[in-house]
Amino acid sequence: MLRLTQFLKQQETPADLIELVNLLMAACKEIDGKLQDGALAGILGAAETENVQGETQKKLDVIANDILKLTLSNTNLVAGLASEEEDDPVACDPEGKFLVTFDPLDGSSNIDINVSVGTIFSILEAPNDSDPAQQAAYLQSGRKQVAAGYVLYGPSCILVMTTGNGVHMFTLGSNGEFYLTRESVQVPQTTKEFAINMSNQRFWDQPVKDYVADLLQGEEGPLGKRYNMRWIASMVAEVHRILTRGGIFMYPWDSRAPQKPGKLRLMYEGNPMSFLIEQAGGRSVNTQIDIMDVEPEQIHERVSVVLGSKEEVETVLRYHGN
Ligand code: AHG
Ligand code: MN
Ligand code: MN
């Protein structure tokens, strides 16, 4: 079986990018270790702090963020980082070639119930003469990503990543090495499985209400098929399911916070997941345009997300008149 580094070399990935991915994986293995220890290490529960977005942090949100920050600050490869759990961008090595944005622990409401969580990362090049302590350096569209991926901490610890040459899955062995376990993943073009938090139904926009009402009618409705539903409340786990067997995932704008475009974050969740989904032949849109074409204006910006099997995402676009 091929190790992660061997596989990336075969793909002619530049040596500095391979080194950065390996560093990120060293951090993720440490996070995996903390998650394995769980209650034994006294690290479950809330941290009694809020992040810049006003969300209560879990202890493990803070621990995972600190592990990634420390790892990425101790290399000359990284000019700076931006994290869901940091108020401002963090400058690292002024000579660093890359910027890294990440969601250190995604799905963190699942930690205390021992259900899958993940780490999401996106790698950009640091623009020449940019200041990695300032937002402007990071405000690049998803199309500029040089690599993106996630680590799913589930029954197995799995890395799923792309450098723009397809999407590949690696499983962490007991010897601490990631091995290639699925190459060139493709999302099935059609699906009968949807994921949306139905408790927000009354807050959705009319096109989303109409689409979900129609799909709930099953084979008797205008969409002509019977759908199944899943909601894990962990985007990493939902995207992993969709990459594995297809489906559609939606976290659209809703009227609970009308001034925000959505709940999920463009730089830490929307863009990296969109890169993976597009590389696997799926689509990822904000109900109007491809998420990777959104020009970010702030690092903590939110985005409406509809992603997954191409034909189903395009059905949702049609409900929005696109
Ligand atoms: P995070 O734990 O990083 O804040 O992200 C949680 C996200 C995403 O993973 C998931 O799809 C969604 O929030 C769940 O939201 P609800 O609890 O509103 O369903
Ligand atoms: Mn998240
Ligand atoms: Mn998070």
Structure tokens belonging to residue 96: 């660093």
Under a CB-based contact definition with an 8 Å cutoff, are residues 51 and 61 in contact?
yes
Indicate the pTM of the whole model. 0.98
Q: Is 247 helix (H, G, I), strand (E, B) or coil?
A: coil
CA 123 – ligand 2 centroid, Å: 17
Averaged over 53-80, what is the pLDDT? 94
pLDDT digits (tens, 9 = 90+) for 222-265: 999 999 999 999 999 999 999 999 999 999 999 999 999 999 99
* Ligand that comes closest to the CA of residue 265: 2
Tell which residue, 35, 34, 3, 8, has the closest CA to residue 21.
8
Whether the CB of 107 sits within 6 Å of ligand 1: yes
Tokens of 267: 């730089």
What secondary structure letter does DSSP report for 140? Answer: -
Strands 193-195 and 178-182: unpaired
* Distance from residue 193's CA to the centre of ligand 2 (Å): 22
Taking residue 246's Cβ as centre, other Cβ atoms within 10 Å add up to 21
Domains along the sequence of the chain with CATH: 4-182 (3.30.540.10), 193-319 (3.40.190.80)
Give percent of the chain above pLDDT 70. 100
One-character DSSP codes across 173-232: -TTS-EEEEE-S----S--SEEE--GGGGGGB-HHHHHHHHHHHTGGGSTT-S--EE---
C-alpha dist (Å) from residue 205 to 201, 212, 229, 253, 320: 9, 11, 20, 7, 10
Residues pairing with 100 in the sheet: 81, 123
| Nearest alpha carbon, ligand 1 atom 11 | 235
Report the pLDDT value the prediction gives residue 41, as an integer from 0 to 100. Answer: 87
Distance (angstroms) between ligand 1 centre and the Cα of 278 equals 21
Q: Using 50, 70 and 90 to split pLDDT, how confident is the model at 152?
A: very high
- Per-residue pLDDT, 239: 98
Cβ of 116 closer than 6 Å to ligand 1, yes or no, is no
Q: Which residues of 194-233 are buried (b: 16+ CB within 10 A; e: fewer)?
A: bbbeeeeeebbeebbeebbebbeeeeeeebeeebeeeebe
At 54, the pLDDT band (50, 70, 90 cuts) reads confident
- What is the chain's mean pLDDT, rounded? 97
For residue 43, pLDDT beyond 90? no
Q: Is 152 assigned to a binding site?
A: no
Tell me the best of 196, 231, 235, 241 to mutate to test the pocket of ligand 1, counting ligand atoms within 8 Å of each CB and taking the most. 235
In one-letter notation, the amino acid at residue 60 is: L
